[in-house]
A and B are shown apart, each in its own frame.
Chain A
Amino acid sequence: MRSTPLPTRPALAVLAVLALPLLAACTESTDTAGDGAAGGDARTVAVTSSEDACELSATEAPSGTLRFDVSNAGSQVTEFYLLDAEGLAIKGEVENVGPQATRQLVLNLPAGDYTTACKPGMTGEGIRAAFTVTDSGEEVEVSADEQALVEQALTSYATYVRDQSDQLLERTREFVDLYEAGDDDAARELYPLARVHWERIETVADSFGDLDPKMDLREADLEPGQEWTGWHRIEKDLWPARAEDYTPLTDTEREEFAQDLLANTEKLDARIQELDFTVDQIANGSRGLLEEVATGKVTGEEEYWSRTDLYDFQANVDGARVGFEGVAPILETKDPALATELDDRFAELEALLDQHRVGEDGFVSYDELSPAEVKELANAVNALSEPLSRLTAAVLA
């Protein structure tokens, strides 16, 4: 899956908006078909940005949800902004509109005076013009409430991620001690439990491209000549049963791999403590964790040696659910049906997983699942993943 937390994807164009007082939420998407731009709908405004002009199909529109179809007729990348009357505060923007591309900006705007700006070449203050939103009588949610919900979601998600990272570090320390001391039974018992904290925040941990391959790489993903380190290297040493002609690591090697994992976990934890999140990162992270389940856990590929995939499965679902629940109060105001559907689907998947529990926080080995049981889990993952893929857009709408 795509790790989303810290990237430079165009989807992040909306972040700047969310960081501002949430006067108007907006979404932005690519519209390659170019449909609708010429439509006669008063709530749809076609914007054509060229080298030296910024043409709008209308200079006024009724209050409520407005859509700007921004087409780039120039030869360099452009941006479109909707600002306040003074042209200072950004109400919404679309960035990275390539030549001949069309992207959408959807905004919920109350009546008032505004400024539009196209910024071909992305420099200067852009080509500006006045824009008026007339009173349609429609009530426009400009909620201090929503802003509060967003802030609450951001704070609680950041707290969750930091807390999981702290627990990961603590558990990794314990694990490393046991492994280095040669207490393999205890190390095997702790291995999946420590990794739960990694898997709950996997999309965040994955986003550090320098650390992730050192900590979580599977043997199949190695390049020729690349050194294999991290959790799965130690996993193989603790569960060599499926390996051919395996030579156990020496005490010195154990110490090297263990200390390397610990040092990287410390680095990761330090970085995570500094992270802030945005609403779309949380929602995308939730989707991303389910993709991790679909591609690695339900197939039994993640924990090839230990067969402890179901621990990771549950942990990914835990993290996805926390992300979903964090933004659920916002979703309730935008798309309550989707909120209910996701709630139900999470519950169904978790009920299935519960059938495979052993003791309080354990799971059966992946090998004990029958093909029918694996299929049933995969069905539930699909059932949840499909509506979950609409979460980000719905929350930002």
Chain B
Amino acid sequence: MAMGLSRRGLLGGITAGLAGGGLAAGGYAVGHESPAGSVGSAGQVAASYPFRGVHQAGITTPAQDRLHFAAFDVITEDRAALVDLLRRWTEAAERMTQGLDAGPIGAVGGATNLPPDDTGEAIGLPPGGLTVTIGFGPGLFRDAEGRDRFGLADRRPEVLRELPHFPGDTLDPARSGGDLCVQACAQDPQVAVHAIRNLARIGFGTVAVRWSQLGFGRTSTTSTAQETPRNLFGFKDGTANVKAEETAALDEHVWVGPGESPGDWLAGGSYLVARRINMTIEVWDRQPLGDQEDFIGRTKGTGAPLSGGEEHTAPDLDMPGSNGTTVIAQDAHVRVVHPDLHGGARMLRRGYNFVDGTDALGGLDAGLFFLAYVRDPDTHFIPIQSAMARHDALMEYLKVTGSGLFAVPPGAGDDGFVGQSLFA
């Protein structure tokens, strides 16, 4: 790989500081040697992650704190141009995940009469644990008019299609769908935004940004060593998530297996469900604490299920409560989405809180940008979302405003590019 000017190189001593075992300002451990998709030391976010590997990084990687997610429309019908874009994205993403400029010349290393091949806002910033994860929407295989623009129609897995309409969906087409998606996660929002900005720039003429979403405050843990964070309802979220350490569970619930996609191009990949879930924050905040806990089925303080124990104690859904009820209500969120009610199906959730300012009425335009990686959306997402839409007490306070489903190919090999198996 061609090495350009290192962003970190500009900082002189910082690189040495990293090698010393920890970045004081960031507070996260070093994990330069971690293979792609593995966990940094003690499950904390590492300083950087390799871009290449068996699986794409950014799935089982310990969830970073910040997100910039973008969905793109492919605006060409030229298959070669699409493949070329994926190659260039792979190169640029690899560079940026290592803390380098997006292009080989760099933000300040080139001719003064040309725009630089890196936009420059990450000069001096460390890699920030950046991961870049690329996915393919149904439109890549057959567009809205039913055209097979890239000769890929027969490679579309059956389950990669528009999600059905769920009750409570008020989807904004300008925040939904997309032929391609890129999830950029990092500890520093500027690093994540830098990645999307430069990839979008590289894509002009081939793709156009359809929508994008910023997220802060990861709402899930993807490693047992991470503390469960809180969503904007103030509750711990994603306690029962599939974790990086659960190898067997990942194979069962997250990674697409052999024989599950035409020509096996998606084996080792996953499906990504993205949902922009607005919360009616102001109304929620007026609910009595006891009601809030009943809606969730957990205590607000510790996150323990209302049937007792600690945060990670399994909820006892049948524990009798007063007056012939169960102590965890029938419409409690923890019950409605519990794997026991869905054939054991679990998700690897990787969502983020978002606040996009305020709406026209002065309320927070805020909620959860839900991201979940699953082996099969038909068994691991749609039934659970349907049950939630129908029975979950939380639905009174939620409105889904954006939605997308993407197939996330396996990781790029040493000389390959992301998605190569699809075009083979």
Cα A300 to Cα B421 with chains together (Å): 48
Q: Which residue of A lies closest to B169 (CB)?
A: A220
Please state if B280 and A11 are interface contacts (CB–CB under 8 Å): no
Instruction: Please tell me which stretch of A266-274, A331-339, A379-387 contacts chain B, meaning at least 4 of its Cβ atoms lie within 8 angstroms of it.
Output: A379-387
Contact residues of A between 58 and 110, Cβ < 8 Å to B: 72, 75-77, 79, 95-96, 98-101, 103
| Residue A375 is within 8 A (CB to CB) of chain B in the complex | yes
Please state if A100 and B309 are interface contacts (CB–CB under 8 Å): yes
Please state if A101 and B306 are interface contacts (CB–CB under 8 Å): yes
Contact residues of B between 162 and 190, Cβ < 8 Å to A: 164-170
Cα A385 to Cα B319 with chains together (Å): 35
Instruction: Please tell me which stretch of B101-109, B264-272, B291-299 contacts chain A, meaning at least 4 of its Cβ atoms lie within 8 angstroms of it.
Output: B291-299
Please state if A224 and B291 are interface contacts (CB–CB under 8 Å): no
Please state if B307 and A99 are interface contacts (CB–CB under 8 Å): yes
If over half of B's interface residues share one DSSP class (helix, strand or loop), that class is named, otherwise mixed; here it is loop
Instruction: Please tell me which stretch of A26-34, A151-159, A249-257 contacts chain B, meaning at least 4 of its Cβ atoms lie within 8 angstroms of it.
Output: A26-34
| Residue A371 is within 8 A (CB to CB) of chain B in the complex | yes
Q: Which of A29, A99, A101, A374 has the most CB of B within 10 A?
A: A99
Which A residues are CB-close (under 8 A) to B363?
A: 378
| Residue A142 is within 8 A (CB to CB) of chain B in the complex | no
| Residue A279 is within 8 A (CB to CB) of chain B in the complex | no
Q: Which residue of B lies closest to A119 (CB)?
A: B322
Question: What distance in Å separates the Cβ of A188 from its nearest Cβ neighbour in chain B?
Answer: 25
Please state if B290 and A30 are interface contacts (CB–CB under 8 Å): yes
Please state if B280 and A294 are interface contacts (CB–CB under 8 Å): yes
* Chain B residues bordering chain A, tally (CB within 8 A): 45
Q: Which residue of A lies closest to B305 (CB)?
A: A98
Please state if A2 and B322 are interface contacts (CB–CB under 8 Å): no
Please state if A385 and B299 are interface contacts (CB–CB under 8 Å): no
Contact residues of A between 188 and 237, Cβ < 8 Å to B: 220-224
Contact residues of A between 103 and 125, Cβ < 8 Å to B: 103, 122
Please state if B287 and A77 are interface contacts (CB–CB under 8 Å): no
Which B residues are CB-close (under 8 A) to A224?
A: 164-165
> With A99-B309, A294-B280, A375-B362 given, is the CB distance from A10 to B301 under 8 Å?
no
| Residue B199 is within 8 A (CB to CB) of chain A in the complex | no
Which A residues are CB-close (under 8 A) to B321?
A: 77, 95-96, 98, 122
Please state if A11 and B286 are interface contacts (CB–CB under 8 Å): no
Please state if B288 and A29 are interface contacts (CB–CB under 8 Å): yes
Please state if B167 and A2 are interface contacts (CB–CB under 8 Å): no
Instruction: Please tell me which stretch of B75-83, B91-99, B388-396 contacts chain A, meaning at least 4 of its Cβ atoms lie within 8 angstroms of it.
Output: B388-396
Please state if A1 and B396 are interface contacts (CB–CB under 8 Å): yes
> With A98-B306, A287-B286, A393-B288 given, is the CB distance from A32 to B299 under 8 Å?
yes
Question: What distance in Å separates the Cβ of A228 from its nearest Cβ neighbour in chain B?
Answer: 11
Cα A117 to Cα B321 with chains together (Å): 17
Which B residues are CB-close (under 8 A) to A12?
A: 323
Q: Mark B324-338, 1 if CB is under 8 A from A, else 0.
A: 010101000000000
Cα A392 to Cα B288 with chains together (Å): 10
Question: What distance in Å separates the Cβ of B302 from its nearest Cβ neighbour in chain A?
Answer: 7
| Residue A291 is within 8 A (CB to CB) of chain B in the complex | yes
| Residue A8 is within 8 A (CB to CB) of chain B in the complex | yes
| Residue A395 is within 8 A (CB to CB) of chain B in the complex | no
Please state if A100 and B304 are interface contacts (CB–CB under 8 Å): yes
Please state if A11 and B322 are interface contacts (CB–CB under 8 Å): no
Within 8 Å by CB of A221, from B167, B283, B289, B308, lies: B167
Cα A220 to Cα B304 with chains together (Å): 34
> With A79-B322, A378-B362 given, is the CB distance from A294 to B283 under 8 Å?
yes
Please state if B393 and A2 are interface contacts (CB–CB under 8 Å): yes
Question: A379-B362, A382-B362, A389-B286 are known contacts; what are 6 more A-B pairs with Cβ within 8 Å?
Answer: A29-B290, A77-B321, A98-B306, A122-B322, A222-B167, A389-B287
The 6 A-B pairs at the shortest CB distance, nearest first, are namely: A99-B308, A95-B322, A389-B286, A32-B301, A378-B361, A30-B290
Q: List 29 A-B contacts (CB under 8 A).
A: A2-B295, A8-B323, A8-B329, A9-B294, A11-B290, A12-B323, A28-B290, A29-B288, A29-B289, A29-B290, A75-B308, A76-B320, A77-B320, A96-B323, A98-B308, A98-B319, A98-B327, A100-B308, A101-B306, A220-B170, A221-B167, A221-B168, A223-B386, A287-B286, A294-B283, A375-B360, A382-B282, A385-B286, A389-B286
